[in-house]
Amino acid sequence: MKIRTCAVAGMFYPRDPSHLEQLLEKFFSVTKSDSAPPLGIVAPHAGYVYSGQVAAHAFGAIPPDFSGTFVVIGPSHRGYISCVSAIPWETPLGVIETDTGFVNALDMETDELSHKDEHSLEVQMPMIKYRFPRARIAPVMMGPQDYASAIRLAEKIEAAVRLTKRDVRIVASSDFSHYVPEAKAKSDDLYAIEPLTTLDTVEFYRRIEERRVTACGYGPITAMVTACSRLGAKSAQLIRYATSGDVTGDTREVVGYAAITVI
């Protein structure tokens, strides 16, 4: 059986299962499920030492008994086309099954080679496997991140949900500002995130462009927020923001991380 094997285990997160479980237990021990479980989340995808706690806050807002399908949207860092993966994904904690019925319903090109080394999706998988052991995934890699492409992807996700009637949660994998002074990162990132609280993705794009915010997954964020809105979500909330400087102590050049829930 073909399987998507780990590409960044031992780099972005521990390869040893015991070490990984201990780290994730620590991360999730300080999170809490919201009284209104989100339809979608934004979670960062840097190394766990930098962004793992923020990502756990995003996933931690979803009750741990969720056993449906996670539609995980990650940006392509290598310029590949938008495509899906239809094979199971390996993690150090075991294999996650892919919801092939939902993947097929997305009506997108399947390209396993493009997914082979991309970390934006892989880094989310141990979080899912640890907290939601019965859940399945629908991995979506987003190539072009223009606004029209994001809306088209949202429409495909909405159509697949209505066709399959799956219980889904949508994950947008994104870091925010890259390698700028911490004060600028916080100012730019929070400025860009603010319109998302009312699901205003047009203004989100405008602010990203205005401030030249170097968020790597603004397309996946917009696709997730739009799909959730079409499926009944009314608002979003920033539940955690941090930078790499909080870990390293170096505030000269940081990367920003946000945990956002869409309800």
Q: Report pLDDT for 32.
A: 84
Is the model's pLDDT at 64 over the cut of 80? yes
Query: For residue 188, how far is the Cα from the chain centroid?
Result: 20
Is the model's pLDDT at 160 over the cut of 90? yes
Q: ∠ CA(75), CA(25), CA(126), 5° rounding?
A: 30
- Domains of the chain in start order, with CATH, are 17-262 (3.40.830.10)
Neighbour tally for 228: CB within 10 Å:
27
Pairing of strands 40-43, 168-173: parallel
pLDDT digits (tens, 9 = 90+) for 169-211: 999 999 999 999 999 999 999 999 999 999 999 999 999 999 9
Q: Which tokens go with 174?
A: 């994104």
Is the model's pLDDT at 216 over the cut of 70? yes
pLDDT digits (tens, 9 = 90+) for 10-20: 999 999 999 99
Q: Which residue matches tokens 């979608």?
A: 40
Collapsed DSSP state (helix, strand, coil) of residue 221: helix
Is the model's pLDDT at 240 over the cut of 80? yes
Is the model's pLDDT at 1 over the cut of 90? no
Across all residues in the chain, what is the average pLDDT? 97
pLDDT digits (tens, 9 = 90+) for 85-141: 999 999 999 999 999 999 999 999 999 999 999 999 999 999 999 999 999 999 999
**Where do runs of H (alpha helix) occur along 84-241?**
100-105, 112-115, 119-122, 125-131, 147-164, 182-193, 201-211, 218-230
Is the model's pLDDT at 34 over the cut of 70? no
CB 41, CB 257: distance < 8 Å = no
- % of the chain at pLDDT higher than 70: 99
